[in-house]
Amino acid sequence: MTRFLWPRVPVGHVRVQCAAMSEVTIGEIVELVGGDYRGARDTRISGVAPIADAAEHHVTFLSNPRYAPLLQSTRAAAILVASDLAGHSDRWIRVKNPYYAMAQVVSRWFDDRPMPRGISPLASIDPSARLGSDVAVGPFTTIAANVVIENDVMVFQNVSIEAGSTIGAGSIVYPLVSIYERTRIGRRCIIHSGAVIGSDGYGFATEGGRHHKIPQIGIVRIEDDVEIGAGTTIDRAALGETVIGEGTKIDNLVQIGHNVRVGKHCLLTMFRRKRACRASRRFRGATFRGARSGRVAFRSWRSASKTSRTS
């Protein structure tokens, strides 16, 4: 007999949790980011903003030197800057990596996106599916037979999760995502709206002047801490696995072909000429092998990189 671990919020009682905007002292920010700061630590901060738009109650950051002239004109109460930045100001919090420090601050106090809680009575969940504790499932989402959803997963509305798939603890699946059968998704993954995981790869055998479909019977395996952008598609393997390695971050509108293997902690972006050189450097440590579509895409980035260096 299947054992079900249902969330604490009963089925039929769905709510959206909205985080209240926090207020925090500069001293707390300095402690979080491990910064060097010489000003008043009891000044209170109630938001974050770009350096050009920040007001007296904001914290901001400077990571790109082109915006350094704004250090004098910004009204921000505190500014996260690089440890080796020339000059001095009582508003500066010196850190090793201002961009990362800003991410820490936003994640800790100011990430107030509404998130679902509970199981919607309008969701369709097969009796054989297993849901962990504190799982949220939005309205009109379909969860098929033998799906396993681990603890603290949030599935928004209008999501399709097909039979035999698994989603690891702490993951977030945004609206209109389609997850095909037997897909394996790791822990703490984020899948944005419109992504398609596990659709058929582009495989056809030509015989007698006609193209005959090759059944795609493999799977997609996504490791822990992967983020997949809106509208991205990841094809299932013809045989075996299409793999997205741990910690990889994929931009919107990226297509990954069948049997491709992406290594750990890669950055994949939709092709743009200005970013081609950076993309090529980032991917040199990655593993791309398997389907021709993956190899061709990688070669085109490297080719574009050479062109951009000579133009």
CA–CA distance, 260 with 237 (Å, rounded to integer): 8
HSE-CB for 210 with a 13 A CA cutoff: 3
Angle between helices 26-33 and 98-105 (to 10 degrees): 120
Q: How many helical (H) and strand (E) elements, i.e. helices and strands, does the chain have?
A: 5, 32
Q: For the chain, how many residues are written?
A: 311
Other C-beta atoms lying within 10 Å of the C-beta of residue 71: 18
Cα-based distances in Å from 71 to 39, 92, 124, 216, 226: 16, 9, 53, 56, 35
The 3-class SS string of 125-172 reads ECCCCEECCCCEECCCCEECCCCEECCCCEECCCCEECCCCEECCCCE
Cα first-last separation, the chain: 66
Distance CA 260, CA 263 (A): 10
Q: Which of 57, 192, 212, 258 is catalytic?
A: 258
d(CA 227, CA 183): 15
Is residue 223 helix, strand or coil? Answer: coil
13 is catalytic: no
Residues acting as catalytic residues: 258
